[in-house]
Amino acid sequence: MRTALGGLVDRRLARAAGSQWTRVDGRRFHARHVGPEAAAAPPVVCVHGVGVSSRYMVATMTKLASAFEVYAIDLPGFGLTDGPPEVLDVVGLADALAGWIQAAGVGRPALLANSVGCQVAVDCAVRYPDRVSRLVLVGPTTDPIARSALRQVLRWLRNLPGERPGQLPLSVADYADAGVGRALRTFGYALADRIEDKLPLVQAPTLVVRGARDPIVPQAWAEEVTRLLPRGRLAVVAGAPHTVNFAAPGSLAELVGPFLVEDGPT
Amino acid sequence: MVAKFDSATAMLRALAAFLHGRDFPMLGGRAQAEPLAARLLGLVNRLPEGLRERLYIYSGWSEATPAGKLARVRSEALARWVVGHYPRRRYPAVMVGSSNGAMIHLAAALGIPWLPQTLLLPVRQRGVHPDEPADDLAAMVDPARVLLAANPDLALHHMHDANQDRLMIQRMTYFRVKRLRLGRAYERFLADTLVPGGTIFLVECTLSWPTTKVGDRHVFQQGALGGATVQEAHQGSARVAGYLRRYGSHRRRWNPPAPDADRPEAEWGFQPALRTDVERFAADRGYRIRRIIFDQPEELSPLVADLYRDWYRCRGIPADRLLIESFILLEPWLALATGSVPFWLVFNTEPSLTAIHRYLDTAGSFDEIRMSLFSHGVESVGLPAIGQWRTVLQRAGKLGSFLGVDEQAFPRDFATMARYHQALAQVRNRYPMPCPLSLDELDEFLDQQGERYPVDWK
CB contact under 8 A, A227 and B368: yes
Q: Which chain A residues contact residue B429 at CB under 8 A?
A: 224, 227
Into how many domains does chain A fold?
Answer: 1
CB contact under 8 A, A218 and B426: yes
| Minimum distance, in Å, between the CA of residue A117 and any CA atom of chain B | 22
Q: What percent of chain B has pLDDT over 70?
A: 100
- Collapsing DSSP to helix, strand or coil, B90 comes out as coil
What pLDDT shows up at residue B318?
92
CB contact under 8 A, A226 and B427: no
Give the best residue of A143, A217, A229, A234 to mutate against chain B (max B CB count within 10 A). A234
The CATH number assigned to the domain holding A134 equals: 3.40.50.1820
What pLDDT shows up at residue A2?
64
B368 in contact with A at a CB cutoff of 8 Å? yes
Q: How far apart are the first and last CA of chain A?
A: 37
* C-alpha closest to that of B165 among B6, B318, B28: B6
Between A218-222, B52-56, B77-81, the lowest mean confidence (pLDDT) is in: B52-56
What pLDDT shows up at residue A1?
59
CA distance A98 to A110: 12
* C-alpha closest to that of B340 among B315, B364, B314, B318: B318
Q: Mean pLDDT across the stretch B262-281?
A: 98
> If chain A, 266 residues long, is cut into consecutive pieces of 10 residues, what is the mean pLDDT of each piece?
71 78 92 82 94 95 93 95 92 97 95 98 98 98 96 96 92 89 95 97 97 96 97 95 97 96 68
Cβ-nearest to B426 among A219, A234, A238: A219
Cβ-nearest to B399 among A218, A221, A223: A223
Burial class (CB in 10 A: 0-12, 13-18, 19+), A86: exposed
Q: Which chain B residues contact residue A220 at CB under 8 A?
A: 426-428
* pLDDT exceeds 70 at position B302: yes
Nearest-Å Rg of the Cα atoms of chain B is 21
CB contact under 8 A, B399 and A233: yes
Residue B44 phi, psi dihedral angles, 5° rounding: -60, -40
What pLDDT shows up at residue B262?
97
Domain of A131 in residue numbering reads as 4-260
pTM comes to 0.92
What pLDDT shows up at residue B60?
84
A226 in contact with B at a CB cutoff of 8 Å? yes
Residue A249, Cα to own-chain centre: how many angstroms? 13
Burial class (CB in 10 A: 0-12, 13-18, 19+), A130: exposed
**Torsional sign, CA B141, B145, B148, B152:** positive
CA atoms within 13 A on the CB side of B418: 19
CB contact under 8 A, B426 and A236: no
Q: Angle of helix A167-178 relative to helix A4-13, nearest 10 degrees?
A: 130
CA distance B19 to B325: 19
Examine residue A134 and state whether it is found in any structural domain, yes or no: yes
CB contact under 8 A, B399 and A220: no
- Whether residue B277 contacts residue B182, with contact meaning beta carbons closer than 8 Å, is answered with yes
Residue-wise pLDDT tens digits, A199-230: 999 999 999 999 999 999 999 999 999 999 99
User: Bridge partners of A31?
Assistant: A20, A73
User: Bridge partners of B342?
Assistant: B323
Examine residue A131 and state whether it is found in any structural domain, yes or no: yes
**Torsion from C-alpha of B257, B261, B266, B272, nearest 10 degrees:** -160
CB contact under 8 A, B398 and A218: no
* C-alpha closest to that of B106 among B417, B441, B357, B454: B441
Examine residue A204 and state whether it is found in any structural domain, yes or no: yes
- Collapsing DSSP to helix, strand or coil, A185 comes out as helix
What pLDDT shows up at residue A118?
98
Examine residue A266 and state whether it is found in any structural domain, yes or no: no
CB contact under 8 A, A223 and B407: no
Residue-wise pLDDT tens digits, B203-251: 999 999 999 999 999 999 999 999 999 999 999 999 999 999 999 999 9
Between B75-79, B147-151, B166-170, the lowest mean confidence (pLDDT) is in: B166-170
Alpha helices by DSSP H, B175-317: 183-193, 230-235, 238-246, 273-285, 301-314
What pLDDT shows up at residue A177?
86
What pLDDT shows up at residue A36?
79
* pLDDT exceeds 90 at position B107: yes
CB atoms near residue A57 (< 10 Å):
34
Examine residue A265 and state whether it is found in any structural domain, yes or no: no
Q: How confident is the model at residue B2 (pLDDT cuts 50, 70, 90)?
A: confident
* C-alpha closest to that of B322 among B335, B339, B338, B340: B340
CA distance B79 to A231: 52
Examine residue A30 and state whether it is found in any structural domain, yes or no: yes
What pLDDT shows up at residue A266?
55
* C-alpha closest to that of A203 among A122, A260, A108: A122
What pLDDT shows up at residue A4?
72
A233 in contact with B at a CB cutoff of 8 Å? yes
- The amino acid at A205: P
| Minimum distance, in Å, between the CA of residue B37 and any CA atom of chain A | 19
